[in-house]
């Protein structure tokens, strides 16, 4: 790739197509994984999976903290042709991420029984939650390092390698899910073992880029720089917070939904939250394709290419949002039946709830895309403002207050309102002269 002179649309497509391909397989894996748990284990398994989603969010959030934070700085250094800085950033990021990964696997594993209760597990579902969670905690470091390695490989002009890792890992996960759940009757432990193996393969395939002739990522103990850690964390704070805040939002939504609807409401929200992972993956692909190109162009001092890459990416995410909502609206009933064998009340209440909830895509696309843009442009404070509003600032406040005022069913409108308020702030930040 010629990041300095090749036509903008061609470069964007070269990053977008592998990213979309990876997202499609990731989406298939997420849907199939949830489907097999829902169909093969039952609603109880789906509830346990949903209770543990905040932990998944925390692990991937830490991965993004170091992966995005480090890889953005790497791309800027590439634009400046500073090879020494590239080595310092990569070495520091991988080392700190590995140490953090071990710690955040070990500590929750020791405290897991208390954590299940905090997450909302009841006597009815704590056994099946523990069956899945104990293995997930032990291998949390795999999710973190897989995310970090993939971020760096994409930013080192190797999006196809990252795509290959995602495809192989996702397909492996699906095959092993079928074998472990249906053939070996391993239940939830089989589901999480399949997930760990799939993510480990993803990480190893992406890491194989380090052995290729085109590799520009070089590790050195002497290149580790404690002084770079602060910059990495500052630049990665927004995507980290997005993931962690999403986990917290799921947690608070779970509590509110149990309060107002009971267990059937959790089944509906489990379908929503798992579908949302898929829609977010597609929206993130538009931003992930734009980020290395914008970061490199900023490092090279080429403002015109920054503008063009940003415009191309925004048109792409708009098209994605329109298509995704059309599919969700047109096939809501099938979506519900895809995940579980639903009771009559899940179908009756779930169809309008899902259609209302996903109206938020049209506001969320603006917030998601420009949050990534601000990260790429080293405007980490602006990116964090958006993340704070989408998480603690608006969403959690609304999910607690709005049902008290407008009744239980208004909980499904919360995301539309919170994303709308956040979008107003995002547009204000974009209007500032220094952006």
pLDDT tens, position by position, 86-108: 999 999 999 999 999 999 998 88
121 vs 62: which has the higher pLDDT = 62
Please tell me the predicted confidence (pLDDT) of residue 120.
79
Please tell me the predicted confidence (pLDDT) of residue 239.
83
Please tell me the predicted confidence (pLDDT) of residue 5.
79
Average of pLDDT values for 252-270? 87
Please tell me the predicted confidence (pLDDT) of residue 361.
96
Distance CA 72, CA 78 (A): 10
**What string of DSSP letters covers 203-216?**
HHHHHGGGGSTT--
In the numeric block, the tokens 């393969």 are attached to: 201
Domain limits, the chain: 8-224, 283-431
What does pLDDT average to over the chain?
A: 89
Average of pLDDT values for 245-270? 84
329 falls in which pLDDT band (50, 70, 90)? Answer: very high
Of 56-60, 242-246, 266-270, 359-363, the poorest mean pLDDT is in: 242-246
The length of the chain in residues reads 435
Directed axis angle between helix 140-155 and helix 159-177, to 10°?
150
Distance CA 296, CA 381 (A): 20
Average of pLDDT values for 235-253? 81
Please tell me the predicted confidence (pLDDT) of residue 435.
57
> Which of 38, 23, 363 shows the shortest CA–CA distance to 159?
23
Please tell me the predicted confidence (pLDDT) of residue 107.
87
Average of pLDDT values for 250-263? 86
Please tell me the predicted confidence (pLDDT) of residue 433.
54
Average of pLDDT values for 276-305? 88
DSSP 8-state symbol, 3: T
Q: Are 36 and 191 in contact (CB under 8 A)?
A: yes
């Amino acid at each position: 790739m010629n990041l300095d002179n090749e036509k903008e649309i061609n470069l964007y497509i070269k990053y977008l197509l592998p990213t979309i391909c990876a997202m499609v397989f990731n989406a298939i894996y997420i849907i199939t994984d949830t489907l097999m748990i829902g169909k093969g284990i039952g609603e109880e398994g789906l509830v346990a999976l949903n209770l543990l989603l905040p932990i998944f969010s925390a692990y991937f959030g830490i991965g993004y903290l170091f992966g995005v934070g480090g890889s953005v700085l790497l791309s800027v250094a590439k634009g400046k042709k500073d090879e020494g800085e590239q080595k310092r950033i990569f070495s520091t990021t991988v080392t700190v991420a590995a140490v953090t990964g071990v710690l955040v696997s070990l500590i929750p594993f020791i405290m897991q029984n208390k954590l299940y209760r905090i997450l909302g597990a009841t006597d009815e579902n704590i056994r099946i939650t523990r069956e899945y969670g104990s293995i997930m905690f032990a291998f949390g470091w795999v999710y973190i390092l897989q995310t970090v390695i993939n971020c760096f490989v994409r930013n080192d002009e190797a999006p196809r390698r990252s795509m290959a890792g995602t495809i192989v890992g996702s397909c492996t996960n699906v095959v092993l899910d079928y074998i472990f759940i249906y053939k070996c009757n391993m239940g939830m432990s089989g589901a999480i073992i399949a997930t760990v193996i799939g993510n480990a393969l993803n990480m190893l395939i992406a890491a194989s880029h380090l052995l290729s002739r085109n590799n520009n990522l070089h590790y050195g103990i002497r290149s580790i720089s404690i002084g770079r850690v602060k910059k990495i964390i500052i630049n990665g704070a927004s995507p980290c917070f997005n993931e962690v805040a999403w986990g917290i939002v799921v947690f608070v939504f779970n509590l509110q939904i149990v309060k107002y609807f009971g267990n059937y409401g959790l089944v509906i929200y489990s379908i929503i939250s798992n579908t949302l992972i898929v829609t977010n993956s597609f929206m993130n692909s538009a931003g992930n394709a734009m980020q290395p190109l914008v970061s490199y162009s900023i490092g090279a001092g080429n403002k015109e290419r920054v503008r063009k890459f940003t415009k191309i990416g925004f048109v792409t995410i708009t098209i994605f949002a329109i298509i995704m909502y059309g599919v969700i609206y047109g096939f809501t009933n099938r979506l519900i039946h895809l995940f579980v064998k639903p009771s009559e009340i899940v179908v009756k209440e779930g169809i309008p709830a899902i259609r209302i909830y996903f109206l938020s895509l049209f506001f969320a696309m603006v917030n998601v895309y420009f949050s990534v843009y601000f990260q790429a442009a080293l405007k980490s404070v602006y990116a964090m403002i958006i993340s704070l509003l989408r998480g603690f600032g608006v969403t959690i406040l609304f999910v607690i207050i709005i049902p008290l005022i407008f009744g239980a069913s208004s909980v499904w409108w919360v995301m539309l309102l919170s994303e709308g308020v956040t979008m107003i702030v995002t547009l204000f930040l974009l209007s500032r002269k220094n952006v």
